[in-house]
Amino acid sequence: MKVAVIGATGLVGTMMLKVLEERSFPVTELIPVASAKSAGKELTFKGKQYKVVTVEEAIAAKPDIALFSAGGNTSLEQAPKFAALGTTVIDNSSAWRMDPTKKLVVPEVNAQVLTKADKIIANPNCSTIQMVVALKPLHEKYKIKRVVVSTYQSVTGTGVKAVDQLMNERKGIQGEMAYAYPIDLNVIPQIDAFQENGYTKEEMKMIKETQKIMGDDSIKVTATTVRIPVMGGHSESVNIEFENDFDLAEVRRLLENQEGILVVDDPANLKYPMPKDAHNRDEVFVGRIRRDESQPNTLNMWIVSDNLRKGAATNAVQIAEYLVAHQLI
């Protein structure tokens, strides 16, 4: 099993290598790929040293799987070249997510849509992934009409530059800015560029990707995505209106029985999900489960997950695991 990781030296690429190792994915040959300026550097995987190569060298090696985390432009340009060789590409950028010919997959939700013919598979947006894992069992039982989500997203979702900005500000050091404003002791109600409708690209991703992954365009979604000065994971306040009424005890049971979810919901003992608890974990944490008393058939939840792991690297590796387990490669 030859596995290429494109963007191997970035935050998500580094996490992909870590997750592949932790989960004992059957890698027989690793091909770490980065930009030309990083080519020749060495990294360690399973105790062995590997030399970082260019994308051209990786294509020549004809890997079985290519995990991409090098940005949308690289994915658009290079993923089809790998796919043409028979390599299965799992892409973490937004490049292919809304392409109607490409599958957008969260394994716990819709892995069954994958076939052997799928050579470019899209990994969803981090904030969408954690939300749909929690929505799935509730939609199956009560049918979701509308979702209102506000996110509180970690600086790690932007990358190393944003982490450096936060840390520099905390130390009183002037440095390169990832954001238009200071992030320490601040909240920035903008993630990605604004669109003509007043929503940001991140908000529109959550709206469109949720419908595609859930396989139901009738689910109405509205989102406000916000960057906050934390690391460890993204948090979401989610309000869900159902067609049918629900029982809170049953909601908890459904969530507890959903693969990939850990319910942390004990207000009496101040137990609820927080980014610091989700950090370096693969579960989606759900808490603050309560009825919305302002209108019927409506539920409030708080959802937290490590955006570099389940929100990116782990989800991609889980897709690869599913493909291998079902002999789709």
pLDDT in tens, 213-243: 999 999 999 999 999 999 999 999 999 999 9
Residues 106 and 136 in one domain: no
Active site residue 139: no
pLDDT for res 123? 98
Tokens of 126: 């981090």
The pTM of this model reads: 0.96
**Domain that includes residue 167, residue range:** 127-307
Residues 157 and 13 in one domain: no
pLDDT band at 37 (very low <50, low <70, confident <90, very high): confident
Q: Does residue 38 register a pLDDT over 90?
A: no
Work out the average pLDDT over 46-54: 96
Residues 268 and 177 in one domain: yes
Residues 138 and 262 in one domain: yes
Residues 115 and 170 in one domain: no
pLDDT tens for each residue of 84-141: 999 999 999 999 999 999 999 999 999 999 999 999 999 999 999 999 999 999 999 9
DSSP3 helix / strand / coil % (the chain, rounded to 5) = 35, 25, 40
Picking from 127, 114, 85, the residue whose alpha carbon sits closest to that of residue 221 is: 127
Active site residue 234: yes
**Active-site hit among 126, 139, 279, 326:** 126
Residues 52 and 18 in one domain: yes
pLDDT for res 206? 98
| Strand 120-122, strand 234-242: pairing | unpaired
The answer to whether 127 and 202 are in contact (CB under 8 A) is yes
The answer to whether 321 and 259 are in contact (CB under 8 A) is no
Average predicted confidence (pLDDT) for the chain: 97
User: The CATH number of the domain where 287 resides is what?
Assistant: 3.30.360.10
Cα 329 from chain centre? 23
Residues 158 and 37 in one domain: no
Residues 109 and 227 in one domain: no
User: The CATH number of the domain where 104 resides is what?
Assistant: 3.40.50.720
pLDDT band at 193 (very low <50, low <70, confident <90, very high): very high
Residues 141 and 183 in one domain: yes
**Active-site hit among 139, 234, 279, 326:** 234
pLDDT for res 48? 95
**Number of domains observed in the structure of the chain:** 2
- Distances 316 to 4, 33, 213, 278, 291 between C-alpha atoms, Å: 13, 16, 15, 18, 33
pLDDT band at 36 (very low <50, low <70, confident <90, very high): confident
Cα dihedral: 314, 320, 326, 329 (round 10): 180
Residues 165 and 285 in one domain: yes
pLDDT for res 15? 97
- SS3 at position 18: helix
